[in-house]
Amino acid sequence: MEQKDIADLIKLLRDDMKPALGVTEPGAIAFAAAKAREFVKGDVERVDVVLNSGMYKNAFTCGIPHSDAVGNAYAAALGVVAGDAALGLEALAKVDDQANEAAKGLVEGGKVSVQVGEITPDIYIRAEVATASDCCAVTIAHTHTNIVNIVVNGDVVFQKDDEGQPGQEDVGGAPIHEYTLAELYNFIQSVPIEEISFIQQAYDMNLALFNEGLGHERTTFLKALWDMNGGQMISGDEVTTAQLLCGGAIEARVLGLDKPAMSITGSGAHGIICTMPLYAVCQVQGISAERLLRATALSYLITMYIKEYSGRLSAFCGCAIAAGTGMACAMAWLKGGDLAVMERVVANMAASITGMICDGGNQGCTMKGVTAVDTAFRSVRFALSGVGVNPVHGVLGPTPEDTFRYMGCIASPGMVGTEQTMIDILKDKSQKGNRIS
């Protein structure tokens, strides 16, 4: 593999890995609101937020760090009263009891409104904060912290040239798509290990999140998974160990516990699924740390490949489908599988769980993670035995790259109607008063 390609793939990995406190979407909403608050003086009289469908859905009942509150409105309110925009997706790291009371006052006082904009997988947030004397609107597009426009009292004070332009996933020009699965396979085997040693940060972070959940009174699935694994973190059973580490970290994240996850493609849950099952396999089987890092690079890159087609916030569960597929291919490699085995793994994963819906960032993500792990292990076992769904069938393409693209197409544009239906369900729930959005 050429040195330039190695350097480019390393850069893609470095640029995409980012810590995220709580679920990424509430963090992004809080970040936008906190940024807008910086430009206004006086007491806040109004906070108006417009979100694309995926952003609205993912944060709808999502836990918020340092708070018992959930959802879009509280994320925006906390961003206004205590958010630190300098911290990006960890903008709510400084929330305390006083901030929670102030945010509650804004929400219950009817000063925070949240509306759904377009039904689209492309990220969009517009947070407008108004006081008696000032008004500032901050617009984010395409990625969770990509500010493209800031308007203060009617004057544009910041403007990116790409505002309103489609993200790379919409035009098919994502850099990751310049590579084949074979080239990604060659990359992880040839890249100098010191060049990807930064990936270890993901394990340090995700394991700390898991341990935070293990000792927390609010986790339930984690404790049940702990019991299923014999009351230990690492047992002799790969599957139950992987489900414990993966599901436990996801539950801690969606509850908004006070430890960040290392996100990939803008999602902490994606980052958890990409990593924790691989850690479990290596711990149970005694596989080296170097091999784990190489496998993780492959897991990340395949996940990025699929997500650039599906969009970052689509109607299907990218955690299980995209990250699950990346993780499964990496698991096959850890177990000695070659490129042909990985191609069968891709086929088995795509043919089985493509189409699983995303109904937001919530406790159900834990179950989706458990399902993804189970499907990954089964797909790998079949593939190592020479068994894979024939690519002439269904959503599968003649090459793994075609399959990745078709998987993405199922989400966008394929499930736009599903996304609208999910938004309608959430609005109906709000109107019936069983939650505050």
Confidence at 219, pLDDT banded by 50, 70, 90? very high
What average pLDDT does the segment 266-279 reach? 96
Measured in degrees and rounded to the nearest 5, phi and psi for residue 141 equal -145, 150
Over residues 61-102, the pLDDT tens digits come to 898 989 999 999 999 999 999 999 999 988 999 999 999 999
DSSP label at residue 393: S
d(CA 37, CA 127): 9
In the predicted model, what is the mean pLDDT of the chain?
94
The mean pLDDT of 264-271, rounded to a whole number, is: 93
pLDDT tens track for 327-360: 999 999 999 999 999 999 999 999 999 999 999 9
Question: What pLDDT sits at residue 435?
Answer: 52
Q: What is the DSSP string of 104-116?
A: HHHHHTT-EEEEE
Tens digit of pLDDT for each residue in 11-45? 999 999 998 877 889 999 999 999 999 999 999 99
Task: Indicate if the pLDDT at residue 412 is higher than 80.
Answer: yes
Q: pLDDT of 139-159, one tens digit each?
A: 999 999 999 999 999 999 999
Q: What is the dihedral of CA 181, 182, 184, 186, to 10 degrees?
A: 170
Model confidence over 292-307: pLDDT tens digits? 999 999 999 999 999 9
Which whole number is the average pLDDT over 408-426?
94
The C-alpha atoms of residue 62 and residue 71 are separated, in whole angstroms, by 5
Give the pLDDT of residue 430. Answer: 84
What is the Cβ-side half-sphere exposure of residue 196, based on CA atoms within 13 angstroms? Answer: 26
- How far is the C-alpha of 308 from the C-alpha of 333, rounded, in Å? 23
Integer Cα distance of 152 and 59 in angstroms: 26
The predicted model scores a pTM of 0.90
Q: Looking at residue 162, what is its pLDDT?
A: 59
Tell me how far the alpha carbon of residue 226 is from its chain's centroid.
24
Q: How far apart are CA 437 and CA 435, in angstroms?
A: 6
**In the predicted structure, residue 167 carries a pLDDT above the cut 80:** no
* Mean pLDDT (whole number) for 239-252: 98
Q: Are 362 and 62 in contact (CB under 8 A)?
A: yes
Bridge partners, residue 51, by sequence: 116, 125
Q: Which residue has the higher pLDDT, 394 or 19?
A: 394
203 alpha carbon, distance to own chain's centre: 16
Mean pLDDT value of segment 102-124: 95
